A and B are shown apart, each in its own frame.
Chain A
Amino acid sequence: MKYIFYPGCSMERNARAYLDSLMAIREPLGIELEEIDDWNCCGATEFMSVSPLAGHALIGRNLALAEQQTNGTHTVMAGCSACYLNLAKTDHYMLESPQLSETINTALAAGGLHYTPGALKVRHLLDVLMHDVGLEAIQRNVVRPLQGLRVAPYYGCMILRPDFDHRFNYPEYPAQLDQILGVLGAEVIDFPMKLDCCGGHMTQISKPVALELIRRLIHAAAEYKADMLVTLCPMCQLNLDAYQAEMNHYFHTDYHIAITYFTQLIGLAFGKEAKELGFGKEFVDARPALSRIGVQVPVTEPVATPKPKRSKQALPMPSLTRDKGETRR
């Protein structure tokens, strides 16, 4: 099965583990990916906040480039939920409003491009794995079942909402990711927060709001005794993983829930090496969880926090020793 692939800026760098693990599993799953040539950023949620029409034109350029590449396939696939929604939205709104379609194409013409609304089908990686590849094909490739690993499946927002093409029949209670993790042999919990928002870019706008959104997700996963929270979006992974320490500090909690991509777990079950799947790039160490299923991850350099040196002439100061086990809520 061939797809036109839109990786997006995150997958290229901060969510490299997502891209690497996808590349590692595409062959056993029979997926062929052809990257959009010279694609640009989709604008995330920020470009439209400055100029909605230019935001659609920015996305339109990617659609126009992809349309030129429709060689045997009309499906554009993205792994990042925000990229997926942006591409799907511009296509859908252009189809809905001929006037908008004309305006965007007038803008695209300035760069010698054109997009015919509806020419492409925009789909998310989860949708492709579930509905094109299928659970059976995934199960066939499992050589190392993830027996004993307790996982919380987390969908986030933009893959299920607004879901213009109705790819998911129960948008308020989806099961696709649960089912995939299930056939890998993992113990899947019925995660009540699986659709709640991770906060997106809120970490940069209001810390208290953002950290609370992160806290309730991590807290729910811990309550359900999950070893790991499994995501399918770079933004969700970044927020829950990289900001977990700051969230702990802010709320005086002590959670350590590893945040991984579903493609990494698929790769593990397929017998791939942890390093090839990008393990080790996460902030909250996934090794304790992975050791439960007998997977060893090579140790990466620990991050050193620069500590100011004490001057020899400084006066002696009393210091408090922090009780490590102390948590306050």
Chain B
Amino acid sequence: MALSSADTDLESLPRLPEPPVADLSFLDKVVAATPGVPRLEMCIQCGTCGGSCPSAADMEHTPRQIFAMIRAGMSDEVLRSNTPWFCVACYYCMVRCPQEVHIPDVMYTLKSLAIRAGLYENAAGPHLSQTFSGYVEKYGRSFEFGLATRHYLRHHPISMRGMAPLGLGMLTKDRLTFTPVRIKGLKGLKAILARARELEEAAR
């Protein structure tokens, strides 16, 4: 006997779970923090990026996975991943991406967000970027001697001795110098960088 619709009590039927609400705030945040038009929301999850990446095998997540995780709002997992730090900026992914996503630029953004949030497992990458940038900001030029010694003392003190022939060779071949080069317009450069950081802060 068929039930007549009048007899069905809709309230008594088992309820389906509520569909999850898409939280795109992390995607928006990453896009907003990436200068230019990164086109990250256009990703179609084809995986060409990871297939073209020379260090994908050493990454905890391939670029494609990272982009899916960004869309899923998994900000903590994304920023803790070693993936952006293993990006060698070879741009293979970017030229092969059918959607023309600016993948290396997204990786730069993820690194900067991870540094800000203090979310990274291995500090070698973040410290290298910060030490390098610190010298550039201080002198206007990169300072390889300071960068190499400081970075090695901090992260590879044991292998310091093994690196001695390399450092010594760089010095005797005059490919490295003890003294940094300073630009004339240092004051102006510092003002420009300070203003850029203020603007970056305001846009967050």
Contacts and interface: CB of A to CB of B under 8 A. Distances in A.
B124 interface: yes
B61 interface: no
A306 B193 CA distance: 43
A40 B86 contact: no
A279 B173 CA distance: 10
Contact of B108 (A49, A60, A201, A303): A49
B2 interface: no
Chain B CB count within 10 A is highest, among A13, A56, A97, A209, for: A13
Interface stretch (A125-133, A157-165, A314-322): A157-165
A281 interface: yes
Interface residues of B, number: 68
Contact of A242 (B37, B170, B183): B170
Given A46-B133, A209-B55, A110 B142 contact: no
A103 B130 CA distance: 23
A47 interface: yes
A281 B172 CA distance: 9
Nearest to B53: A197
Interface string A72-106: 00000000000001000000010011001001101
B132 A44 contact: yes
Contacts of B140: 40-41
Interface string A287-311: 0000000000000110111100000
A103 B54 contact: no
Contacts of A242: 166, 169-170
A93 B35 contact: yes
User: A46, A58, A162: which has the most chain B beta carbons within 10 Å?
Assistant: A46
B55 A100 contact: no
- Scoring B36, B91, B94 by chain A CB atoms within 10 A of each residue's CB, the highest score goes to B36
Contact of B196 (A51, A245, A301, A305): A51
Nearest to B128: A204
B14 to A, nearest CB: 50
Interface residues of A, number: 74
Please indicate which of the listed interface residues A39, A85, A303 has the most CB atoms of chain B within 10 Å of its own CB: A303
B129 A49 contact: yes
A12 interface: yes
Contacts of B122: 205
Nearest to A43: B136
A38 B2 CA distance: 88
Given A38-B185, A41-B140, A161 B192 contact: no
A162 B95 contact: yes
A204 B124 contact: yes
Contact of A197 (B85, B88, B130): B88
A52 interface: yes
Contact of B92 (A41, A47, A112, A161): A161
B81 interface: no
Given A49-B112, A209-B58, A158 B185 contact: no
A9 to B, nearest CB: 4
Given A14-B144, A49-B111, A281-B174, 8 more contacts: A41-B141, A96-B37, A107-B196, A109-B195, A162-B94, A196-B90, A204-B151, A305-B165
26 contacts: A13-B144, A39-B183, A40-B183, A46-B133, A47-B129, A49-B111, A49-B115, A49-B125, A50-B133, A51-B133, A53-B199, A54-B193, A54-B197, A103-B203, A107-B196, A111-B192, A157-B91, A161-B90, A161-B95, A162-B95, A163-B95, A200-B89, A201-B128, A246-B166, A281-B175, A300-B173
Interface of A: 9, 12-16, 38-41, 43-58, 60-61, 85, 93, 96-97, 100, 103-104, 106-113, 157-158, 161-163, 171, 196-197, 199-202, 204-206, 208-209, 213, 242-243, 245-246, 280-281, 283, 300-301, 303-306
